[in-house]
Amino acid sequence: MSTVSEHALLTMNFQAMQSAYRRDPAPDYAQRVAVLKKLKQALITHEQQIYQALSIDYGYRSEFDTFFADIMPTIAAIKYAIKHLKRWMRPSKRHAGLMLAPSTVTVHYQPLGVVGVVTPWNFPFYLALGPTVQALAAGNRVMIKMSEFTPNANQILRTILDDISDHVHLVEGDAETGAAFTALPFDHLIFTGSTAVGKLVAKAAADNLTPVTLELGGKSPTIIDAHIDMKIAVDAVIMGKSINSGQICVAPDYVFVPTTRLDAFIETFIARYSEYHLKSANRNQQSHIISQRQHTRLVQLLEDAKAKGAKIHAVKAMGPDDNKCVYPHLLTNLTDDMAVLKEEIFGSLLPVMTYETLDDVVTYITDRPRPLALYIMSNNPTLIERLITHTHSGGIGINDTAMHVVADDAPFGGIGHSGMGHYHGYEGFLTFSKAKTVLYSSSWLPKNRFLLKHRDWALKVLRKWLLR
C-alpha cells in the first residue's frame, strides 16, 4: 500500500461503514439475527471452496484441520449467539441502593459503532469471523483486515461476505496496509497475531484512544505429572501440536515431564504420532507449513538448538524435498540460550524438559512472560489446583490441549505478553458493547429539592449511615 489514493480508499471505506452505522445505530434483535443467519448459510454454501482455497494457500491443508478449527467453531459461534442474543440484549436491572431509592438503575448494552478486526494467516476464517460474529451480535459494523499470506482464502471470504457487505467490509494488503488500518479511529480494535506486532497495534490505537483486544501468543507450557497414563497425556499433546502442524497460538510450546518419565514420553509420542499420521489410512494427513519463510524459520530454530547441544528425536527426519511438511521434532538436553526456548515456536518443534518437583515447574513458568494457555496432564486435584492458583495464563486445559478455545460459553483471551481483553460468547458481546448505566427518577420525586433545601440534615444522616 504505497500510494495516497490507496490510503484514501481505506479511509473512504471506513467512513462508509461509519455512515452505515449512523443510519441505523440501534439494530433490533431481528435485524442482527438476519445478518448472522446469512453469514452462517454462506459459510455452509461455500464449505468446499473453503477447503480448496486454504489447501492452495498452504500447499496442502487437511480438510479435518479446516473444518475442525475454521468452519466448525465459526458456525457454532453463530448458532450460540443467535440462541442467546435476545437475553444478552435485554437491559439488566441493578440495585439502586438506599441513597438513590426509589429511583431505578438499569444497564443498557449499546453497539459501539465500527469494529476493526486484524486477522492472521493461521486460521483466517475463524479468526476473522469469530470476533465479527460477536461484534455483529452486539449491533456493530465491522471491517476485517486479512493476511496477505492467504490470498485464496481471502477471495472466498469476500464472496461469503457479499450478501452482508453493508455490515462487514473486507480489506486486503501487506504490513503497510495493516499499519494504516490500525491507525483508523475504530470504536474497538481486535488484533490476533504476534506479541511484537501487537505492541505496534496498541500504540497505533492509542493515538485515537481506541480500546483494543489483543490476542497474542507466547510459550504455552504443558506439565505431565508422575502418574497420568502416558498414552492419554501424549494423545492430548499430539492433538494440540498436530492441528495445523502446530501453527496455532495455543499449541503446546514446550513440555515438562518428570525426569523418570522422559524416555517414556519420547517413545510414546513418536510411536503414537507415527500411528496417527504416518501409518494411518486416513485421507487427512498433516497440514503443511504455510510458507517457505516459516519453514526456514523452523529449520533455523532446530539448527540453533543442535549447535548448542540439544538432542533431536524426530518422528520423521526432514528430507531434501520436505520444503513444506515438517513432522514433529522433540528436543531434549536444552539450555536457556537456545532460541527454541526464547521464541514462540508456532510449528512442529517441541522442547521437552524434565523436573524433580512441582516447585521447579512453577518457578520456571512464573519467571517468564505469561502464556496464552497452560496445559496440565494429571488427575491429582492438589497438583491441578496448585498450578491453577500459582501460575498465570490466558486459559487452562486439563488432560486436553487447545480445545478450551472453542468453548462457546466462556471467555478467551491472554494476559500480559499473551494479550489483553477477551471475547467469545457473552463476554464477546460485552466487549463489543457499551454498557451504559441509566438512572431513572420519576419526575414527581422531590428528592433534589429536599436535598438542596435540607443539606445540613442530609449530611448528618448520610454520614451516620455510611460511616457506622
Task: State yes or no: pLDDT of 447 exceeds 90.
Answer: no
Residue 466 lies in a domain: no
Task: State yes or no: pLDDT of 319 exceeds 80.
Answer: no
Active-site option among 249, 325, 343, 427? 249
Cα–Cα distance for residue pair 88/221, rounded to 1 Å: 35
Q: pLDDT band at 321, cuts 50/70/90?
A: low
> What integer pLDDT is reported at residue 368 of this predicted model?
96
Cα–Cα distance for residue pair 111/435, rounded to 1 Å: 9
Question: How many domains does one find in the chain?
Answer: 2
Average pLDDT over residues 357-364: 96
268 closest CA partner among 211, 228, 304: 228
Are 81 and 121 part of one and the same domain? Answer: yes
Are 225 and 209 part of one and the same domain? Answer: no
Are 304 and 394 part of one and the same domain? Answer: yes
Cα–Cα distance for residue pair 168/179, rounded to 1 Å: 20
Are 159 and 46 part of one and the same domain? Answer: yes
Rounded to whole angstroms, the maximal C-alpha distance in the chain is: 89
Are 185 and 239 part of one and the same domain? Answer: no
CB 365 within 8 A of CB 338: no
Task: State yes or no: pLDDT of 125 exceeds 70.
Answer: yes
Are 212 and 255 part of one and the same domain? Answer: no
Are 142 and 246 part of one and the same domain? Answer: no
Q: pLDDT band at 347, cuts 50/70/90?
A: very high
pTM: 0.93
Residue 380 lies in a domain: yes
Average pLDDT over residues 247-264: 97
Domain containing 299: what range? 221-411
CATH code, 50:
3.40.605.10
Q: Convert the pLDDT of each residue in 135-180 to its tens digit.
A: 999 999 999 999 999 999 999 999 999 999 999 999 999 999 999 9
User: For 85-99, 245-259, 316-330, 394-408, which range has the lowest pLDDT when averaged over its residues?
Assistant: 316-330
Cα–Cα distance for residue pair 406/436, rounded to 1 Å: 29
Active-site option among 63, 215, 325, 344? 215
Active site residue 215: yes
Q: Convert the pLDDT of each residue in 271-297 to its tens digit.
A: 999 999 999 888 898 999 999 999 999
Are 284 and 187 part of one and the same domain? Answer: no
Residue where one domain finishes, among candidates 411, 427, 448:
411
Q: Between residues 450 and 247, which one has the greater pLDDT? A: 247
Q: Between residues 102 and 132, which one has the greater pLDDT? A: 132
Cα–Cα distance for residue pair 422/410, rounded to 1 Å: 10
User: For 171-185, 186-200, 393-407, 446-460, which range has the lowest pLDDT when averaged over its residues?
Assistant: 446-460
Task: State yes or no: pLDDT of 1 exceeds 50.
Answer: no
Are 365 and 381 part of one and the same domain? Answer: yes
Residue 378 lies in a domain: yes
User: For 81-85, 305-309, 457-461, which range has the lowest pLDDT when averaged over its residues?
Assistant: 457-461
CATH code, 370:
3.40.309.10
Residue 374 lies in a domain: yes
Mean pLDDT rounded to a whole number for the chain: 94
CB 338 within 8 A of CB 242: no
User: For 45-54, 124-133, 313-322, 437-446, which range has the lowest pLDDT when averaged over its residues?
Assistant: 313-322
122 closest CA partner among 190, 34, 234, 217: 217
Q: For residue 38, what are the contacts with CB-CB under 8 A and spacing of at least 6? A: 163, 164
- Retrieve residue 44's grid coordinates: 455452509
Are 200 and 342 part of one and the same domain? Answer: no
Task: State yes or no: pLDDT of 89 exceeds 50.
Answer: yes
CB atoms within 10 A of CB 411: 17
31 burial level (CB within 10 Å; 0-12, 13-18, 19+): middle
Residue where one domain finishes, among candidates 379, 411, 443:
411
Are 181 and 264 part of one and the same domain? Answer: no
Strands (E), 59-155: 92-94, 104-111, 114-118, 141-145
Q: Convert the pLDDT of each residue in 106-122 to its tens digit.
A: 999 999 999 999 999 99
Active site residue 325: no
Q: pLDDT band at 4, cuts 50/70/90?
A: low
439 closest CA partner among 89, 96, 26: 96
Task: State yes or no: pLDDT of 323 exceeds 70.
Answer: no
Q: pLDDT band at 221, cuts 50/70/90?
A: very high
Residue 444 lies in a domain: no
Residue written as grid cell 470476533: 131
Residue 97 lies in a domain: yes
Residue 452 lies in a domain: no
Q: pLDDT band at 256, cuts 50/70/90?
A: very high
Are 202 and 105 part of one and the same domain? Answer: yes
What's the gap between Cα 224 and its chain centre?
Answer: 25
Residue 161 lies in a domain: yes
Cα–Cα distance for residue pair 272/414, rounded to 1 Å: 31
Q: pLDDT band at 318, cuts 50/70/90?
A: confident
**386 residue type, one letter:** R
